[in-house]
Amino acid sequence: MGLSKTIWTNPSEFLRNQQPMNPVMFFAPAVLQSTARRFIDGFPGLVTYAVKSNPDEMVIQNLVAAGIEGFDVASPVEIEMIARLAPSAAMHYHNPVRARHEIAYAVSMGVTSYSVDSHSELKKLVEIVPAGAEISVRFKLPVAGAAYNFGAKFGATVDKAVDLLKVVAENGYVPSLTFHPGTQCTDPMAWDAYLRAAAEICRLAGVKARRLNTGGGFPSHRLNGVMPELEAIFALIGRVADEAFDGNPPALVCEPGRGLVAESFSLAAQVKGVRDDEHVFLNDGTYGNLDELPITGIIDRITVVAPDGSKRDGAASPRVIFGPTCDSVDRLPGDVALPSDIEEGDYLVFSGMGAYSTATNTRFNGFGDMVVATVMSLAN
Ligand SMILES: *Cc1c(COP(=O)(O)O)cnc(C)c1O
């Protein structure tokens, strides 16, 4: 028995050697760890990871190794996994609507931080969670700057948040506030508005919040030339929190998913056919790892790699890209510029695919089988 090679230099080395027939997710632990340190060094408070964006155990282990000490969990399965992989980490149960048995499970697992956005769900928490735990009131503002609106599902209005914060404090829980500006939020001013609203909620309630969770929403690099301005957002959050709370802000927390994990994975999907020199059919699509593209828009950092590992470099021409299933919504948004010399058997390598990809991959129509390969670098 020889040693099998398990860490590859980069995606094209793997593609050249393995000629995979299923989609491949390339994971670069070095990229994940350096992004984690960027958050830890730059964010003016505690950095937690929103597990749902990519619950791969290797992701959790690398985040722990990089120094991440808290996780935003939304279900008993996520709680069980974090308790197992990161037993000393804090868990924030920030799914504001939970079944009673889910709350009881969280209590039994030692979770002492919950979010809430309604009186009915707060009543459930008060009945089941021992006093002394932290309850963060989740509030929302009309959306700005994000790829899609999280406030459509969760978050109390400012008025209701004022009432909820009072009830939390009156019942002997640690009162805190939380919000989520919406995912892939490229406008730092969204945080500005939320931070000032948080201070207003505290003033109106007459309650001093212990902590203020500024959510996820940190953008990843989706489009060529548009680098995410994480440090600018961190600086704005620190400065505006100080201003809004007159120099005495609550302890800050953030819970990025996408911003932490997206850049550490690239996806390779193979061209099954170029139909009559027109439509490109891939072995992955919107029921697989590309599921969120119709919602958040195309990623235009796509490299086309031939089976021998070389890059296609023909002039760009627009193509319709379909996934492998028989459903006509299984199509990437718009026309996608691809090199004109693309051929059947080539691989499309999509950068920045670590968030909301493997997590929502389905087996629809018998597709969805995939592998994860670890690489030193994601440069092709
Ligand atoms: C999904 C989610 C996040 C992570 O959002 P990103 O946009 O991926 O950073 C953070 N907090 C909560 C409560 C969430 O539901």
- What CATH number corresponds to the domain at position 308? 2.40.37.10
**Is there a single domain that holds both residue 286 and residue 255?**
no
**Is there a single domain that holds both residue 35 and residue 167?**
yes
**Is the predicted pLDDT of residue 135 greater than 50, yes or no?**
yes
pLDDT in the model for residue 151: 62
**Is the predicted pLDDT of residue 146 greater than 90, yes or no?**
no
Evaluate whether residue 2 is within a structural domain.
no
Q: How many CA atoms within 13 Å lie on the side-chain side of 334?
A: 12
Structural domain total, the chain: 2
pLDDT in the model for residue 148: 55
- Residue 7, number of CB atoms within 10 A of its CB: 9
Task: Confirm or reject: Cβ of 183 under 6 Å from ligand 1.
Answer: yes
Its domain, for residue 34, covers: 29-261
**Is there a single domain that holds both residue 55 and residue 164?**
yes
* Sign of the torsion formed by the C-alpha atoms of 228, 230, 233 and 239: negative
**Is there a single domain that holds both residue 223 and residue 123?**
yes
Evaluate whether residue 114 is within a structural domain.
yes
Evaluate whether residue 135 is within a structural domain.
yes
**Is there a single domain that holds both residue 122 and residue 233?**
yes
Question: Phi and psi at residue 133, in whole multiples of 5°?
Answer: -70, 165
Task: Confirm or reject: Cβ of 215 under 6 Å from ligand 1.
Answer: yes
* Sign of the torsion formed by the C-alpha atoms of 126, 132, 133 and 134: positive
Which of 69, 63, 61, 79 has its CA nearest to residue 45? 69
> Could you identify the atom of ligand 1 that is nearest to the CA of residue 183?
7
pLDDT in the model for residue 223: 79
- The residue-averaged pLDDT of 73-90 equals 98
Quick check: is 326 catalytic? yes
For residue 50, the CA-to-ligand 1 centroid distance in Å is 6
pLDDT in the model for residue 144: 60
Q: How confident is the model over 191-204, as pLDDT tens digits?
A: 999 999 999 999 99
Residues of the chain with pLDDT > 70, as a percent, come to 96
What is the residue-averaged pLDDT of the chain? 94
d(CA 253, CA 48): 7
pLDDT in the model for residue 145: 59
Q: How confident is the model over 354-367, as pLDDT tens digits?
A: 999 998 899 999 99
**Is there a single domain that holds both residue 254 and residue 269?**
no
Evaluate whether residue 338 is within a structural domain.
yes
Residues of the chain with pLDDT > 90, as a percent, come to 89
Task: Confirm or reject: Cβ of 257 under 6 Å from ligand 1.
Answer: yes
pLDDT in the model for residue 1: 45
Q: How confident is the model over 240-287, as pLDDT tens digits?
A: 999 999 999 999 999 999 999 999 999 999 999 999 989 999 999 999
- The SS3 of residue 327 is coil
**Is there a single domain that holds both residue 291 and residue 318?**
yes
pLDDT in the model for residue 5: 62
Evaluate whether residue 1 is within a structural domain.
no
For residue 185, the CA-to-ligand 1 centroid distance in Å is 11
- Give the end of a domain, one of 261, 289, 321: 261
- Give the end of a domain, one of 261, 280, 310: 261
For residue 262, the CA-to-ligand 1 centroid distance in Å is 13
- The residue-averaged pLDDT of 143-153 equals 62
**Is there a single domain that holds both residue 276 and residue 370?**
yes
Evaluate whether residue 267 is within a structural domain.
yes
**Is there a single domain that holds both residue 338 and residue 201?**
no
For residue 76, the CA-to-ligand 1 centroid distance in Å is 17
271 vs 188, more confident:
271
Q: How confident is the model over 154-174, as pLDDT tens digits?
A: 999 999 999 999 999 999 999
**Is there a single domain that holds both residue 257 and residue 282?**
no
Evaluate whether residue 126 is within a structural domain.
yes
Nearest CA to ligand 1 atom 13: 94
Q: Are 72 and 113 in contact (CB under 8 A)?
A: no
- Give the end of a domain, one of 261, 292, 316: 261
Evaluate whether residue 278 is within a structural domain.
yes
**Is there a single domain that holds both residue 78 and residue 14?**
no
Task: Confirm or reject: Cβ of 256 under 6 Å from ligand 1.
Answer: yes
For residue 298, the CA-to-ligand 1 centroid distance in Å is 20
Residue in 72, 153, 176 to alter for ligand 1 test, most ligand atoms within 8 A of Cβ: 72
**Is there a single domain that holds both residue 223 and residue 257?**
yes
152 vs 367, more confident:
367
Residue in 150, 191, 213 to alter for ligand 1 test, most ligand atoms within 8 A of Cβ: 150
Q: How confident is the model over 29-49, as pLDDT tens digits?
A: 999 999 999 999 999 999 999
pLDDT in the model for residue 149: 59
* Sign of the torsion formed by the C-alpha atoms of 177, 182, 187 and 190: negative
**Is the predicted pLDDT of residue 2 greater than 60, yes or no?**
no
- What CATH number corresponds to the domain at position 152? 3.20.20.10
d(CA 44, CA 239): 10
